[in-house]
Structure 1
C-alpha cells in the first residue's frame, strides 16, 4: 500500500515536471536565441495594475433591467421593438390632456421635460404676414361665415343645452379642418401628397424619472405628410438646452392616477403607412371654462397643458415607429403643430421634441429639453346675430393659413443647421 502511494507521487511529480518543461519550451520559442525576457519593462512595474478592475456587483433587479433593455434594442423591426416594450403589464399614470388642478401646468412641463415660450415661432409670425396669406383671407372669410351659419342654424339647437358647447365645437372643428385642408391643398406643395385622419385615438407611453406615463386621447383631425416639418429652432440652441419646472410631488396629489395596463404606441395609423410624419393636429377643446372658475385654475394653464400633452403624446408615438425610446434617443428633432378650437376661440401650439431620454438612467447626462411655443384664446368671430356671423377675425385666419402652409423638409430630408432660426426668446416660462 505504502509502496504504491510512493510510486503514484513519483509519477505525479514527473508529470508536473514534464508539463513545466513544455511550458518553458513554448515560452522560449516566443523569443530569439532561446532565452527569456521579462514580460514587463522594469520601468513600467507599478504603473500597470496586476489585476483587472473589479466590476460592481449588480442586484438582480438591475441585471434583469439591463437584459430587458438590451432585448429591446436588439430588435430589427418597429413592430418587434414596440412589442418588447408593451408586452409588460405594469402600473402607468394616465395623463389626461385637460386638467383643472391648480399647478397642473408645472406637472405637465416636468412630465414631458418641456419649456414653454409665450409666443409663436418667428417663422409662423412672418409667414402669416406674407402676401399670399393676405390674398387668401377674402375667399376664406366667406367660407368660414358659411360654416358658422350652418352650424348655428342646423345643429346648435338640436342637442342638450348643457353640453352644447362641446358638441358644437367638435362638429365645427372637423368642418374647419376640412375647409383648410381642401382649400389649400392645391396651393401648398407639401399638401399635394398628404393625408388627413378623423377621430383617431392617439396612444403613447414614456418614462420620466422613475414614473411611467400613458397618453390616450382622440384627435379630431390630423394632417400627415411623408416628409417632416422644418425645425423651429436648432437642437443645440439656448432654448433647447436647460432645466424645466421642478415637480417634487406624487402625481396622485393632483388626481393623476395609475392604472395597471399594457403600454401602447399608436399615432393614429399602422406601421408601414407612407404618411408617417405629423404636420398639424386639430382638437376640439373639451375645456369647461365654468369649471376653471370653480376650481380656481387658470384657463391659460389648462390650454397650455393640453397643447403640451397632445403634442408630446403624438410625437413620442411617432418616435416609437422609428424605433426611438428613452434608451435610444432621437438623432434629430421631431416637430408638430397643434390647434385647439372650442367653437369660438382658437389656441395655437408649435412643439419641437428634442429628446426622449428623460428617464432616471439618461437624464443626468442629457441637457436637452423639449420646447412648446403657444398663443391661446384667439377669437375666430364675435357672435352670430340676424343671420350674420359678425367680426370674423383676420388674425385668426392668418394664423390658420400660416400653420397649414408650414413647409416640410426637402425630399432628401435635409435641413441645413445654418438655415435654422435660432429664435432665442428672453422670457421662457
Structure 2
C-alpha cells in the first residue's frame, strides 16, 4: 500500500509539472501577440528573480514604533517635538549618579557609550599656566578663605555631626559658584552674558540596548550661556571614534531599578530661554567615603560614574530642546564642564556629547562615541585651625579659574570687540 501511495504522488507531481509547462506555453504565445511582458525560459524559472523580494511582515509593536518615530520627526516646533515624546510613558531604569557597587563604572560607560580619559583637556591645563591666571588667583585667595571660614563658623551643624559634610558641601558649593562667576565675569565676555541658577531640576531620557533609562537629579548651581562651549576634540578624532566595552548583566545587580515614568527632557529651564547652553554645573558631593570603604568600592569609579551620568543627562536634555534625540542624531557636538565639591576636595569633569544614537537597534553603524575627561580629589585646603585656613591650594584655584575662562564658540571675537568698545569709550 505504501508503494502505491508513492506512485500516486509521483503521478500527481508529473501532472502538475505538465500543466505548468502548458501554462508557460500559452503565456509565451500571448506575449508574442503583445498582450504580456516576456516570460523566462521554463528551465530558467526560479534562478533569476522576476519580481522584487517579498519583505517580511513587521510585528505590530515595530509598526507602532515606526509610526511614533515618523510622527515625532514630522514636528517643526520644539514644544510639539517634546510633547510627542513625553506622552508615551512606560518602565524606565532610574539612573542615580552615585552608585556604590564595584561594577558601576563599566555600567555607566556602556549605557552612555562614553570613553573615559584620565586628566583634563590640554587647553584647560595650558590655561592654568597663563600669567593672567596666576594674577587672578591672588585676588581670589582671600575671597575663598572668607567663604570657607564663614561656612565653618556660622553654618556648621554641631548637633548633626554624621551628616555635617553633606550640609557643608551644599552651601559652600553655591557660595563658590557665585564667587567664581562674579569675580571672573569682569574681564570675560562670555561670562558677562551668562546666567546662574540654583537647585535646578535636570531630567533626561534615552535608549541603550533595548532598555530605557531616566535621569532625574537636581544641580546645585548651573552657569548657562547663549552660545555653546567650544568642543574639546574634533568629531573625527581617535577619541571620538570607536566603541566601548559592553555590559551584558542585569542592571538590578548594581541596584538600578525600574520606575513607571514619562520620558521627560528638562535641562533646568523652559523653552524660549535665551541662555540655552550649559557652561559649568556644580554638584555638592553626596558620596559617603565611609560607605565606599564598607562596600569595598573604589572612590575613583564612583566619582567618574557621577561625572558621566550628570554630564550626559544635562547635555542630552539640551539636545532634545534643539530637536535632537536617538532617531535624529547631533550634527555638532555639545560640551559641558562639571565640578563636584564636598567642602574640601574638588573633582573636575569635561564632557563632549558626540552622539545620541547609542542604541544598536536604531543605528548599528554608528562609530561615534562620547568622551569624558576627569581629574579627582584636588584638595582645596588641608585644615582649619585657630580660625585660619591652612594650605590653600593654588593648583585648585588655577583649575577653577581655567574652567570659568573656557571660551564659547564666539568668545574670541566677542572679547576683541568688547576691548575695542571700551577703548573707544575711554577716548
User: Normalising TM by the smaller chain, what interval?
Assistant: 0.7 to 0.9
SS of residue in 2 equivalent to 1:365:
coil
The residue number in structure 2 matching 1:261 is: 261
Offset, 1:157:
3.9
The yes-or-no answer on 1:241 pairing with 2:241 is yes
Correspondence for 2:278: 278
Aligned twin of 2:393: 393
> 1:147 aligns to what?
147
Paired residue secondary structure (1:278): strand
Could you say if the C-alpha distance between residues 79 and 412 of structure 1 is closer, same or farther in structure 2, counting changes exceeding 3 Å? farther
The answer to whether residue 293 in structure 2 is matched with residue 296 in structure 1 is: no
Is residue 215 of structure 2 the alignment partner of residue 221 of structure 1?
no
Q: Residues 189 and 411 of structure 2 are in contact (CA less than 8 Å); yes or no, is this contact kept in structure 1?
A: no
SS of 1:205 mapped into structure 2: strand
Q: TM-score, normalised by structure 1?
A: 0.84
- Cα displacement (A) at 1:56: 2.5
> Aligned partners of 1:328 and 1:102: how far apart in 2?
34
Change (3 A) 1:412 1:73: farther
Partner of residue 305, structure 1: 305
- Matched residue of 1:238: which SS? coil
In 1, Cα distance between equivalents of 2:293 and 2:109: 22
Q: What is the correspondence of 1:24-423 to structure 2 with a 5 Å cutoff?
A: 50-158=50-158, 160-410=160-410
1:359 positional shift: 1.5
Shift of 1:39: 8.0
Q: CA deviation at 1:412?
A: 12
SS across alignment from 1:265? coil
Distance in structure 1 (CA, Å) of the matches to 2:363 and 2:285 = 33
Measured in 2, the distance between the counterparts of 1:92 and 1:79 equals 22
Structure 2 Cα separation of the partners of residues 303 and 72 of structure 1 = 36
CA distance in structure 1 between the aligned counterparts of 2:37 and 2:89, rounded to whole angstroms = 56
Unmatched 5+ residue regions in structure 1?
Answer: 1-34, 414-429
Return the offset for 1:88.
1.3
C-alpha distance in 2, partners of 1:159/1:282? 27
Partner of 2:9: none
Q: Tell me how far apart the structure 1 counterparts of residues 264 and 245 of structure 2 sit (CA, whole Å).
A: 27
User: Could you list the runs of 4 or more consecutive aligned residues of structure 1 that deviate by over 2 angstroms after TM superposition?
Assistant: 35-40, 45-56, 360-363
Contact 2:225 2:277 in 1 (8 A): yes
Query: For the residues of structure 1 that align with 2:159 and 2:200, how far apart are their CA atoms?
Result: 23
How far off is 1:360 after superposition?
A: 3.0
Structure 2 portions without partners, runs of 5+: 1-32, 414-427
Q: Give the Å deviation of 1:37.
A: 12
Q: Which moved more, 1:50-59 or 1:60-69?
A: 50-59
SS of corresponding position for 2:76: coil
String of CA shifts for 1:229-270, please: whole Å, max 9, x gaps: 001001111111111122110100111000111111100000
Partner of 1:418 in structure 2?
none
Q: State the alpha-carbon separation in 1 of the partners of residues 332 and 49 from structure 2.
A: 42
**Per-residue deviation, residues 106-157 of structure 1 (Å, max 9, x unmatched):** 0000010001001100011001111110000111001001111111111114
Stretch moving more, 343-352 or 360-369: 360-369
Q: For residues 364 and 412 of structure 1, what CA distance do their matches in structure 2 show?
A: 38
Helix, strand or coil for the counterpart of 2:187? coil
Corresponding residue of 1:21: none
Superposition RMSD in Å? 2.3
Count of residue pairs brought into register by the alignment? 378
Q: 1:164 is paired with a residue of what secondary structure?
A: helix
Partner SS for 1:162? helix
Structure 1 residue 103: Cα displacement: 0.9
Counterpart CA distance in 2 for 1:193 and 1:111 is 34
What is the CA distance between 1:159 and its match in structure 2? 5.2
Give the C-alpha shift of residue 48 in structure 1: 9.2
Q: Structure 2 CA distance, aligned partners of 1:341 and 1:94?
A: 24
C-alpha separation in 2, matches of 1:162 and 1:114: 35
Name the CA shift for 1:331/1:159 in 2 (closer, same or farther; >3 Å). farther
Per-residue deviation, 1:410: 1.5
User: Which residue pairs with 1:7 in the alignment?
Assistant: none
Taking structure 2 as the reference length, what is the TM-score of the superposition? 0.85
> Residue 314 of structure 1 aligns to a residue in which SS?
helix
**1:361, CA displacement in angstroms?**
2.2
